[in-house]
């Protein structure tokens, strides 16, 4: 089985968000995919299998289980497929979130993702205790989105992960208005998926971008994820879809030994 490790939402290795991408002729069993994801211990390992229609089936596994949408591993998957397997400028993946098309524009890869509908929820004492700061406002989609007072709170936040686990939502995203060339800054935490902090979260920006488009009154957003590795996302809201663009860098190409798969 071929496996590639790609750093997504960056143009250089050792930054952005790592994803492993496994390309296979057919599906192995789910236990094996989970074991590979746990062995890699990245926030996501992507598995790709071709179908008969010219599309490619794509699934994402965290060390804690399969997930329905992942941005950085989709970006990494498109990078691998368009560089090594498909002579084209775009590719469509069939996923748990429907068909996802990725288009290549010079160094950028643009992904067309569903936007999550956000429902405003009360700011609670549990949120303040989990984050160490009280959010200005909070919203729920698949994940919990907490809007912070300023970018410094986002940068310096040290969440209590046990208390984060007790909050509603699959992941927790914190965000604030950005500075200089970026409209917003954010960080993403996923202890329910055995991920302390997701370095750059594409699906998180399917929550973050709709919020900031409405708050700022502008349709195009440059976002920065302020994790230790960091990464930039170039985003646009089109109706109920979010266009998320970014760069990627190849770290390694390897073979998973077939004896290990038995």
- 119-238 has which fold? Diaminopimelate Epimerase; Chain A, domain 1 (3.10.310)
The residues near 206 (Cβ < 8 Å, ≥ 6 apart) are: 69, 71, 113, 114, 115, 116, 141, 242, 244
pLDDT digits (tens, 9 = 90+) for 77-128: 999 999 999 999 999 999 999 999 999 998 999 999 999 999 999 999 999 9
Q: Known catalytic residue: 30?
A: no
- Do 119-238 and 2-112+246-261 fall under one CATH topology? yes
Coil vs helix vs strand at 84? helix
What residues form DSSP beta bridges with 255? 2
Contact 198, 204 (CB under 8 A): yes
User: pLDDT, tens digit, for every residue of 156-181?
Assistant: 999 999 999 999 999 999 999 998 89
Q: Decide if 43 contacts 80 (C-beta within 8 A).
A: no
User: Is residue 262 scored above 70 in pLDDT?
Assistant: no
In degrees and rounded to multiples of 5, residue 248 shows phi and psi of -150, 155
Q: In whole angstroms, give the CA distance from residue 10 to residue 133.
A: 29
Q: Are strands 98-105 and 108-114 parallel, antiparallel or unpaired?
A: antiparallel
The domain limits of the chain are 2-112+246-261, 119-238
pTM of the model: 0.89
Q: Which helix (H) or strand (E) holds 172?
A: strand 172-177
Q: Could you say which of 44, 107, 181, 197 is catalytic?
A: 44
The class (CATH top level) of 2-112+246-261 is: alpha beta
The whole-number pLDDT of residue 55 equals 87
> Which residue in the block uniquely carries the two structure tokens 């949120």?
127
- 119-121 vs 98-105, strand pairing mode: unpaired
In the block, residue with structure tokens 């930054």: 15
Alpha-carbon gap, residue 157 to 176, rounded angstroms: 12
- 191-211 residue pLDDT tens: 999 999 999 999 999 999 999
Instruction: Give the Cα separation of 70 and 205 in Å (integer).
Output: 10
Asked whether 154 and 226 are in contact (CB, 8 A), the reply is yes
Listed in sequence order, the DSSP H helices in the chain are 30-40, 71-80, 125-131, 151-156, 161-165, 205-216
Query: What gap in Å lies between CA 115 and CA 208, rounded to an integer?
Result: 9
- pLDDT-derived band at 258 (thresholds 50, 70, 90) equals low
């Amino acid at each position: 089985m071929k496996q590639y490790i790609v750093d997504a939402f960056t143009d250089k290795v050792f930054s952005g968000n790592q994803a492993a991408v496994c390309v296979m002729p057919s599906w192995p069993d789910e236990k094996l995919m989970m074991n590979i994801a746990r062995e890699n211990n990245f926030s996501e390992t992507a598995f790709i299998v071709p179908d008969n229609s010219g599309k490619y089936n794509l699934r994402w596994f965290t060390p804690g289980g399969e997930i329905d949408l992942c941005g950085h591993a989709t970006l990494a998957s498109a990078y691998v497929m368009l560089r090594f397997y498909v002579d084209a400028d775009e590719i469509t993946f069939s996923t748990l979130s429907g068909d996802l098309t990725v288009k290549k524009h010079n160094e950028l890869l643009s992904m067309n993702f569903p936007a999550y509908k956000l429902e405003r929820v009360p700011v609670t004492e549990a949120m303040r205790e989990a984050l160490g700061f009280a959010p200005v406002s909070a919203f729920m989609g698949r994940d919990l989105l907490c809007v912070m007072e300023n970018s410094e709170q986002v940068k310096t936040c040290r969440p209590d992960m046990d208390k984060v686990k007790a909050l509603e939502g699959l992941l927790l995203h914190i965000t604030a208005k950005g500075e200089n060339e970026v409209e917003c800054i954010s960080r993403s935490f996923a202890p329910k998926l055995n991920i302390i902090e997701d370095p750059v979260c594409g699906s998180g920006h399917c929550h973050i971008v709709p919020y900031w488009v409405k708050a700022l009154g502008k349709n195009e957003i440059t976002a920065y994820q302020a994790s230790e590795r960091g990464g930039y996302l170039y985003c646009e809201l089109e109706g109920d879809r979010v266009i998320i663009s970014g760069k990627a860098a190849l770290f390694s190409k390897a073979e998973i030994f077939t004896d290990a798969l038995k």
